[in-house]
Amino acid sequence: MTLIVRDFRAQDADDAQAVTRARRASIPFEVTTPASLLFGVRTANPAKKYRLLVAEHNGEIVGTAHVGIAYDSTEPGQSYATPQVHPGHRGLGAGSLLLRTAEEHLAAEGATSVYAWVTDNPESRAFAEKRGYRPTRQAHFQHLDLANGTLPPLPELPAGVELRTAADFEVDPRPVFRADAEATSDEPGDISMAFGDYDDWISHTWNNPLLDRVLSTVVLVDGKVAAFTAAESDGGTRYMSGMTGTLRAHRGRGLAKLAKTDSLRRARAEGYTDAFTSNDADNGPMLAINTWFGYKICATEVRHVRTLV
């Protein structure tokens, strides 16, 4: 039996399809497409030192890992690598080889710490701890059955409040960028981010093929962006909330709930059947909103970190 780890072949359409299938099997609560994989490899910021590693067992792709430097962190040396292995091919050493290859690459690029998400089960946590990783925090993935569930009606809009889509900002996305930067800076996390590079945001967020600008809702208050929900989709049946946020001056008014209600209702009308989202376990307000919509936790992951030097 032959097990190897190599780089994703961005020029090979078959590779993109095979990697997509493997990732969908190993992470069914995320949205992945061949186009999004190709986009991530081809447009990665050089400072990211990004690699999409692929594990092959007897010629079949059985695992993957996104690997890179957190170049936009305020603390130098932070990096990430999360091996994901197809459920039917675990126990063959693919995860170990992916992680070892990732750590060697990151150490060579100056990384001092590696962060990795670990599925919250005894086997996965033991795998991480055996390799020197310690837990830092949790996140919950949640699923909403759009096809068979119910959604709240869209409430009457308060005076001065308007609903738009991200597509309405295609001529000038800067207001959406500023809102995303403020909301993201307040999210809990292990790696502090310096969110201020508009060109980088355009390249890697706004132009990401997963971002569905038509389904992404932007809430205006007196003509200015106050809240938003960014929708990701696979163009078929799967929808995922990429980010939902409200500017500090407008919090406590239910605007995030309004944005999500509008976006989810429009996604269902377009034929999307499954909605997913993810929240830090300490993000009580957002978890409460998702519970109100009917989302149910479908998986929990634990962030782990290992010091390289």
pLDDT digits (tens, 9 = 90+) for 232-277: 999 999 999 989 999 999 999 999 999 999 999 999 999 999 999 9
Within the chain, strands assigned E span 3-7, 51-57, 60-69, 78-85, 113-119, 134-145, 161-165, 217-221, 224-233, 238-246, 274-280, 296-307
Query: What is the C-alpha to C-alpha distance for residues 125 and 117, in angstroms, rounded to an integer?
Result: 10
User: Is a pLDDT exceeding 70 seen at residue 122?
Assistant: yes
User: Is a pLDDT exceeding 70 seen at residue 208?
Assistant: yes
Q: How confident is the model at residue 72 (pLDDT cuts 50, 70, 90)?
A: confident
User: Is a pLDDT exceeding 70 seen at residue 194?
Assistant: no
Query: What is the C-alpha to C-alpha distance for residues 275 and 143, in angstroms, rounded to an integer?
Result: 6
* pLDDT score recorded for residue 193: 58
* pLDDT score recorded for residue 286: 85
User: Is a pLDDT exceeding 60 seen at residue 189?
Assistant: no
User: Is a pLDDT exceeding 60 seen at residue 300?
Assistant: yes
Helix axes 284-293, 255-269, angle to 10 degrees: 40
b/e sequence 179-199, b meaning 16+ C-beta within 10 Å: bbbbbeeeeeeebebebeeee
The whole-chain average pLDDT of the chain stands at 94
User: What would the two tokens of residue 237 be?
Assistant: 């049946």
Q: Which run of H or of E encompasses 182?
A: helix 174-185
Query: What is the C-alpha to C-alpha distance for residues 127 and 114, in angstroms, rounded to an integer?
Result: 15
Q: How confident is the model at residue 187 (pLDDT cuts 50, 70, 90)?
A: low
Q: How confident is the model at residue 185 (pLDDT cuts 50, 70, 90)?
A: confident
* pLDDT score recorded for residue 23: 96
- Residue 293, Ramachandran bin (φ over 0: left; ψ between -120 and 50: alpha; else beta): alpha
User: Is a pLDDT exceeding 90 seen at residue 52?
Assistant: yes
pTM of the model: 0.91
DSSP secondary structure letter of residue 73: B
* pLDDT score recorded for residue 192: 57
Which whole number is the average pLDDT over 45-65?
Answer: 96
Question: 173, 202 in Cβ contact below 8 A?
Answer: yes
Q: What percent of the chain has pLDDT over 90?
A: 90
* pLDDT score recorded for residue 283: 87
* pLDDT score recorded for residue 196: 75
Out of 4-18, 21-35, 118-132, 180-194, which region has the weakest mean confidence (pLDDT)? 180-194
What residues have CB less than 8 Å from 253, skipping those under 6 apart? Answer: 158, 246
User: Is a pLDDT exceeding 80 seen at residue 186?
Assistant: no
- Residue 91, Ramachandran bin (φ over 0: left; ψ between -120 and 50: alpha; else beta): left
Domains of the chain: 3-111 (3.40.630.30), 144-302 (3.40.630.30)
User: What would the two tokens of residue 75 be?
Assistant: 């603390």
Question: 139, 117 in Cβ contact below 8 A?
Answer: yes
* pLDDT score recorded for residue 198: 93
